Amino acid sequence: MKRLLLPLAFALLASPALAVRPDEMLPDPGQEARARELSQGLRCLVCRNESIDDSDADLAHDLRVLLRDRIAAGDSDSQAVDYIVARYGEFVLLNPTTKGANLILWLAGPAALLAGAGLAFIITRRRAAAPEAAGLTEQDKARLADLMKE
């Protein structure tokens, strides 16, 4: 049993590394390192929340090859990523930009949190300032006593 655990652990740890095929790797180690770093920030359009570097999907393979082609052609990191974004849209970025319509998405969460905190503060302040609604007046106590006698 112990003999099987170690190879199984290594196989599970190495499985994401198998996504990048040897035939798509660049011969220059510097360019390959750039490609691997950039592909970690690009989303697989099939797997959704997985980078193209970790995905085994055919479309992820195509994106990895396209990225490596752009790097081999001499594009800078931003030019290579911009080329892919131009073709597939901003959804391909795992970390979307904070420009344009995405700014609404970035600000909506904190704005809703602040609005909820402000509303909770106002409600608790009003309840603290209002007279106790659960307390009975003398007239209500007398009427309750009459009703209880019946």
Q: Write the pLDDT tens digit of every residue in 79-94.
A: 999 999 999 888 888 8
Q: Write the pLDDT tens digit of every residue in 1-13.
A: 667 666 665 555 5
How many CB atoms within 10 Å of residue 44?
24
* Percentage of the chain exceeding pLDDT 90: 11
Q: Contact, 81 vs 37, CB < 8 A?
A: no
Instruction: Check whether 14 has a pLDDT greater than 60.
Output: no
Strands (DSSP E) contained in the chain are none
43 strand-pairing partners: 51
Q: Contact, 81 vs 42, CB < 8 A?
A: yes
d(CA 23, CA 35): 14
Q: What's at 66, amino acid-wise?
A: L
14-28, 43-57, 91-105: segment of lowest average pLDDT:
14-28
- Which structure tokens are listed for 46? 């099939």
d(CA 78, CA 99): 16
Q: Write the pLDDT tens digit of every residue in 29-45.
A: 888 888 888 888 888 88
Rg, C-alpha atoms of the chain? 30
What is the reported pTM?
0.58
Residue 70 class from Cβ within 10 Å (0-12 exposed, 13-18 middle, 19+ buried)?
buried
Q: Give the mean model confidence (pLDDT) for residues 34-57.
A: 86
pLDDT attached to residue 140: 85
pLDDT attached to residue 16: 47
